[in-house]
Structure 1
């Protein structure tokens, strides 16, 4: 499913996408196309693209690309997939009941879960909030203890 979405391997492309996505949530999935959990997440994202297209843009970032390593370090991405959200070039944070509010770790359980999270981030951003509360019940939020691919 990754072939349906924009894949980014250069820092300048990620920078431009962050800076030029205006009045929409930018969803950046950091991961690998060969990772099973990334493939599950990519399938959910690909199925959701049309539903979120009015309020979100999506990019897949290759975590192994040499130019992307500055983002990997900056956002402290140690587990993949990691999904980071932006709105008007501002990093959006989400309280999902996990220790890390800066990113979503792992795949979503369903297409609707992904859409719900992106929509809540968009509504919060439109109200000027930089941190929002996750709309999903705790049992649908991935646990850090689960084995996801390490960087």
Structure 2
């Protein structure tokens, strides 16, 4: 059993993907489940808050989702950091059968969830909405959360 496979059977989120090859493999090999990839740092306070919510939710979503953590400090995963334009942490990206799933949450960026979820049930509701949409063949779904529970970020551009 590989270390990546162990992550999905574990009820704890101790494994962190640090290599592009591991991320590629987990995206390719997760079939008929939503793959939740949390990009962030183990030392970041908001990442730790999100990790706690993810860890508490793993059992409830295990029938329709798998969760993996990706360490953005690893030089080997920078191709994903650049591709998904991960500048704010944590950023959570969703896949279904190797297809990138997007979510319209009323923000400008539909490609990822930025920040932590306020509570465990919010995460479960989002993953369930993505799963239901994916099962219907959709690549973008509407966020099931009320606007007040969706993190908002104001992007500031320097020298524009």
Counterpart residue number, 2:35: 26
Q: Secondary structure at the match of 1:43?
A: helix
Gapped runs of 5+ residues in structure 2? Answer: 1-10, 156-160
SS in 2 for 1:79: coil
Q: Distance in 2 between matches of 1:119 and 1:66?
A: 32
* 2:136 corresponds to 1:131: no
Tell me how large the CA RMSD over aligned residues is: 1.2
C-alpha deviations, 1:14-61, integer Å up to 9, x for none? 000000000000000000000000000000000000000000000000
Q: TM-score, normalised by structure 1?
A: 0.93
**Between Structure 1 and Structure 2, which shows a larger proportion of strand residues?**
1
Taking the aligned partners of 2:24 and 2:153, their CA distance within structure 1 comes to 28
Structure 1 residue 145 displacement after superposition: 2.7
Distance 1:82 1:4 in 2: 20
Name 1:149's counterpart in structure 2: none
Runs of 4 or more off by more than 4 Å in structure 1? none
Corresponding residue for residue 50 of structure 2: 41
TM-score where L is the length of structure 2:
0.88
Bigger radius of gyration: 2
* CA shift for structure 1 position 144: 1.1
Alignment map for 1:38-117 (pairs within 5 Å): 38-117=47-126
Corresponding residue pairs, total: 144
